[in-house]
Structure 1
Amino acid sequence: MDVIKTQQISWRAIEKVIVHPLVLLSIVDNYNRIARDTRKRVIGVLLGSSFKGTVDVTNSYSLPFEEDDKDPSIWFLDHNYHESMLAMFKRINAKEHVVGWYSTGPKLRENDLDVHGLFHEYVPNPVLVIIDVQPKELGIPSKAYYTVEEVKENATQKSQKVFVHVHSEIAAHEVEEIGVEHLLRDVKDTTINTLATEVIGKLSALKGLDARLREIRGYLDLVIDGKLPLNHEILYHLQDMFNLLPNLNVGELIKAFSVKTNDMMLVIYLSSLIRSVIALHNLINNKMLNKEHEKAEDAKLTAIPAEAGC
């Protein structure tokens, strides 16, 4: 029995896919409006730029898409809508071009290769980014793929394209970070706060800090090894940052931090008590108003038979 081996004939052109927060927010909003609480998935076009193997996804828009659950080969995508949207986006920002498409999966499907083939008309090597709109665990909610062609050593079999996983990450410009932070602050309900949300928020913040510190360390290691040129501006900023760090070995500073933390916790505790008292006060007032309203209604009902008897 002959064992058929395969080999990839396309070189690894894409090394990393960077997804911006605006894209994630747009995809989640589109999913909630179209396919929430259903088994349908949402797909759309990814816009951005590519440079030296890195695909930077900065924008997106959804597409009208339908598929048969029983027969994956039956599906429909509105090409006219896609062409119209692409023309309008080019008028707004000519630097953004089609880099691929997205799907809310949450996994690869049989007809994804057919849909992927449509985007070869717009970009030589498009990417597919699957966004998990309902993640069950912490981590990056996106997975990126691109296609390579596999050729069988057995000449009787034809070559075929397959998806290959590529590293993806979430990144944003400073302006985007500020905008997303304010947006999430407005969306979040400050009246509802649990220990779980506090722990998740603290864990996310610590992970972000750890990533930034690792990035700084990696840069300094490359500079020491001579793989990157010395940039005095970056070193000045790092030195300023280190100079601003407090010296935690001083006893007076530790005591000051403790006093400050206790004062802040006391204010939070008092605020929670005041909010609870106000809520209880409003509840009592509401019950009193309802009771007075019921008495007024009963008085009206008793007054009507008396008038009828007269």
Structure 2
Amino acid sequence: MAVLQFFPPSSPVVSAKLHAVVLFNICDCYVRRPDQADRVIGTLLGSVSDGVIEIKNSYAVPHNESADQVALDVDYHRNMYLSHLKVNPKEVLVGWFSTGFGVSGGSALIHEFYVKELKEAQSSIPPIHLTVDTGFKNGEASIKGYVSSNLSLGDRPLAAQFQEIPLDLRMIEAERVGFDILKTTVVDKLPNDLEGMEASMERLHSLLDEIYKYVGDVVEGRVAPDNDIGRFLADTLASVPRMSPAAFDKVFNDKIQDNLALVYLSSLVKTQLGIAEKLNTAAQIL
């Protein structure tokens, strides 16, 4: 008779502590992900003490994902890890993260890769798998940590079972404020320079309308004057340089051209770096 056996990790992890900078970095990587990517996968760095994993840093790892397989850029991961060790040797590999709600179908394959990476680094801890729901459903972020346990039938291993562990999100007051704002500010993508400038100009136009209405109400006697607001408006107007509309249009248009040139050059550099990285990866494979 076959017996279904469940083997707990050889070195159990009691809990994990997550620093807020890691969460912000994961969310930033998700917003800046390629258009065709549904989620972001990356490496977690930190330290281990008394069965508690403290997650202090992270970086995203490029990957290709389909319905039945996941391919990580292993060379990128290892180069980034070596670079981090040169900067801070105390932050070692402790696991990996992915965006989305809970454990997905390909999580076991990626988790097995990080198990091998930790074994090669002669680490006795099991890697932690951190999931971050970047959709912030119902205004709440689902952030969970898992460790893997072996599930076997007799002597034959069947699969890896993920077991949730307590996760402590460590935040100071300033980080807590930023996290609350992050939960209420959900965007599909970051605006480009022109979209950001358009939104700023619309906001400025609405503020000018409010100021114009307030001044008109004070002059007509509908609103009691406020000396503090009056002094603030006077200082603001005094700080604006006097120039003709034609001169202002010229300065504004010149600034727009400078911004467009910077956007074009940065896009060109990004494209060249991407091509160089792909050529380097292809050369290493060959």
TM-score range, shorter chain: 0.5 to 0.7
SS in 1 for 2:137: coil
Q: Does 1:76 align with 2:77?
A: no
> RMSD between aligned alpha carbons?
3.6
Rg larger for:
1
Taking structure 1 as reference, are residues 21 and 277 closer, same or farther at Cα in structure 2, changes over 3 Å only?
same
Instruction: Tell me the CA shift for residue 188 of structure 1.
Output: 11
Distance 2:112 2:139 in 1: 32
Q: Would you identify which runs of 4 or more consecutive aligned residues in structure 1 move more than 4 Å?
A: 2-5, 181-189, 274-277
Q: String of CA shifts for 1:154-199, please: whole Å, max 9, x gaps.
A: 56x5453211111112014xxxx3663686799999xxxxxxxxxx
- Residue 63 of structure 2 corresponds to 65
- Partner amino acid for 1:280? K
Taking structure 1 as reference, are residues 16 and 137 closer, same or farther at Cα in structure 2, changes over 3 Å only?
farther
Please tell me whether the aligned partners of residues 8 and 150 of structure 2 are also in contact (alpha carbons under 8 angstroms).
yes
Instruction: Tell me the CA shift for residue 96 of structure 1.
Output: 0.2
Distance 1:62 1:76 in 2: 14
Range with greater deviation from structure 2 (106-115 or 157-166): 157-166
Taking structure 1 as reference, are residues 281 and 144 closer, same or farther at Cα in structure 2, changes over 3 Å only?
same
Please tell me whether the aligned partners of residues 18 and 55 of structure 1 are also in contact (alpha carbons under 8 angstroms).
yes
- Partner amino acid for 1:145? Y
Distance 2:183 2:18 in 1: 23
1:280 to 206, 213, 227: 213
- Residue 23 of structure 2 corresponds to 24
Distance 1:17 1:279 in 2: 54
- Partner amino acid for 1:80? D
- Residue 256 of structure 1 corresponds to none
Calculate the TM-score normalised by the size of structure 2: 0.57
SS in 2 for 1:109: coil
Superposition pairs for residues 252-267 of structure 1, below 5 Å? none
- Residue 52 of structure 1 corresponds to 50
- Residue 223 of structure 2 corresponds to none
2:103 to 103, 108, 114: 108
State the number of aligned residues: 190
- Residue 146 of structure 1 corresponds to 147
Please tell me whether the aligned partners of residues 49 and 57 of structure 1 are also in contact (alpha carbons under 8 angstroms).
yes
Please tell me whether the aligned partners of residues 8 and 148 of structure 1 are also in contact (alpha carbons under 8 angstroms).
yes
Please tell me whether the aligned partners of residues 150 and 161 of structure 1 are also in contact (alpha carbons under 8 angstroms).
yes
Taking structure 1 as reference, are residues 279 and 41 closer, same or farther at Cα in structure 2, changes over 3 Å only?
farther
Instruction: Tell me the CA shift for residue 6 of structure 1.
Output: 3.5
In structure 1, stretches of 5+ residues that fail to align are 190-273, 284-292, 294-310
Distance 1:21 1:90 in 2: 21
Calculate the TM-score normalised by the size of structure 1: 0.53
- Partner amino acid for 1:65? H
Taking structure 1 as reference, are residues 140 and 171 closer, same or farther at Cα in structure 2, changes over 3 Å only?
farther
Identity fraction in percent: 24
Distance 2:211 2:73 in 1: 54
Superposition pairs for residues 281-296 of structure 1, below 5 Å? none
SS in 2 for 1:34: coil
